[in-house]
Structure 1
Amino acid sequence: MNVIVDADACPVKDIIIEETEKKSISVILVSSIDHYSMTIEPSHVKHIYVEKGNDAADFKIVALVKPGDIVVTQDYGLASLLLPKKVIVIHHKGFLYTDENIQGLLQTRHFSALARNSGQRTKGPKPLTKEDKKKFRQLFLSKLVTP
Structure 2
Amino acid sequence: MPPAKELTIGELSDRSGVPQSALRFYERQGLIFSRRTTGNQRRYDRTTLRRIAFIRASQRVGIPLAQVGEVLGLLPAGEPPTREFWIRASACWSEALDDRIAQLQRMRDRFTRCTGCGCLSFDECALVNPDDTLRTRGPGAHLLDALVPRREP
Q: TM-score, normalising length from structure 1?
A: 0.29
- Higher relative contact order by CA 8 Å / sep ≥ 6: 1 or 2? 1
- Greater share of strand: 1
Larger Rg: 2
More helix by share: 2
TM-score by length of 2: 0.28
